[in-house]
Amino acid sequence: MNLPDMRKPEALWAHMRRTLAFYAPRAMDETGGCFHFFKDDGSVYDRRSRHLVSSTRFVFNHALAWRWFGGSAKDVAHALAFVNQAHAQPRGGYAWTLDWSEGRATVTDGGNHCYGLSFVLLANSHAAQAGVPGAREGIAATFALMEQRFWEPAHGLYADEATPDWQLGAYRGQNANMHACEALLAAHAASGEARYLDRALLLATSVAQRQAALAGGLVWEHYKTDWTPDWDYNRHDKTNIFRPWGFQTGHLTEWAKLLLMLERRLGDAAPGWLLPTARHFFDAAMKHGWDEKHGGLVYGFAPGGDVCDADKYFWVQAESLAAAAWLAVHSGDDGYWQWYDRIWAYAWQHFVDHEHGAWYRILAPDNGKVTDEKSPAGKTDYHTLGACQDVLAALGVQPPAKDIT
């Protein structure tokens, strides 16, 4: 199938509709929330397991459908209600995983994760824009919980995880802070409150300036309690999808995108380092992450630049093409549009399922299929849908006006 001109809004809208159609209406569980596990053909292969990341990301998906295509705000509210009623716990946290059966939730992992709270904040922010009752209050309440339980003012960053009774663990990571930055930008867009934008800038400064300076100018993933790099954490363990070892190609480009979103939102108050740092992160990701033989961007590379994980993940391609579009617009450098077109061409050929819709999750280094599980917990194509929306934002394309009164 020939690649449309993905610089045109019409092509992006068509792809968003096609991706949303893979999940709707089959993802909706009338007993609560959404199903989280889908095979390539869309069939649900686990109807009971629920993960906080998927539960919150489905709120984002439904809000995106509402924003651009006349989707139902009731669907947004349905997804958010599951987060607030099933995942929310008496001690103020949100269960990481649940078993959901006959309308009842059994907690299977009650640990608290700042990564998860970041997505609760993101979900409330997008639901608030759709006019969902209580979502605006949910923004403030989630931010307050993150501040109370995870914020470390001496470091200007959030801690990562805690037990169900809020005992902090020793691990520190950039990933939770990156998604907190994303969620805070959404919270500012939904509320207009300056404190969210201020905090987003502080997180970006802490990670992209101070922490990057400890790792040769790039973003390392893992840290000790004092926020010095932990160079060996998960070095030989590829099973933890939220804490991979090495420099992550997709996280470098995702930070590039977020820095430019910050620059636009801050306007004249934006510090001058945002664009140069975004360019540096993206350029390094392309230098070390692009597979010249098979195409596409690899998952990670080691200090020194050698590839440490050559698998191809959908979200790495999606975040990178969105970052390329933002860089092209903000820098005026046409080379970034060339990267945008190159990444899209690769993803269109190898990741987009032109028969059933949505993107495959993971491919082998040579782009071969490794699983028929297109969308297990955590995916929901939030990255691919969000990337299209982010490209539209880079281009200055606004969704149709909505009346949420």
By three-state DSSP, how is residue 51 classified?
strand
CA distances from 37 to 313, 362, 381 (A): 17, 15, 12
What gap in Å lies between CA 126 and CA 186, rounded to an integer? 7
What gap in Å lies between CA 133 and CA 127, rounded to an integer? 9
Q: Alpha carbon 389 to chain centroid distance?
A: 13
What gap in Å lies between CA 204 and CA 208, rounded to an integer? 6
Set 78, 87, 330, 383: catalytic member: 383
By three-state DSSP, how is residue 346 classified?
helix
280 among known catalytic residues: no
CA dihedral for 149, 153, 154, 159, sign (positive or negative): positive
By three-state DSSP, how is residue 313 classified?
strand
**Per the structure block, which two tokens stand in for 117?**
């709270």
**Per the structure block, which two tokens stand in for 360?**
């495959």
Residue with tokens 């933002």: 326
CA dihedral for 372, 378, 382, 383, sign (positive or negative): negative
CA distances from 203 to 141, 177, 370 (A): 19, 7, 36
169: closest CA among 81, 230, 235? 230
The 3 state secondary structure assigned to 188-231 is HHHHCCHHHHHHHHHHHHHHHHHHHHCCCCCCCCEECCCCCECC
294 among known catalytic residues: no
**Per the structure block, which two tokens stand in for 27?**
């993802």
What gap in Å lies between CA 357 and CA 26, rounded to an integer? 13
Widest Cα–Cα separation across the chain:
55
Set 126, 251, 330, 350: catalytic member: 251
- DSSP one-letter code for 267: G
Q: Is the peptide bond before 25 cis (omega within 30 degrees of 0)?
A: yes
The 3 state secondary structure assigned to 23-90 is HCCCCECCCCCECCEEECCCCEEECCEEEHHHHHHHHHHHHHHHHHHCCCHHHHHHHHHHHHHHHECC
Active site residues per annotation: 251, 383
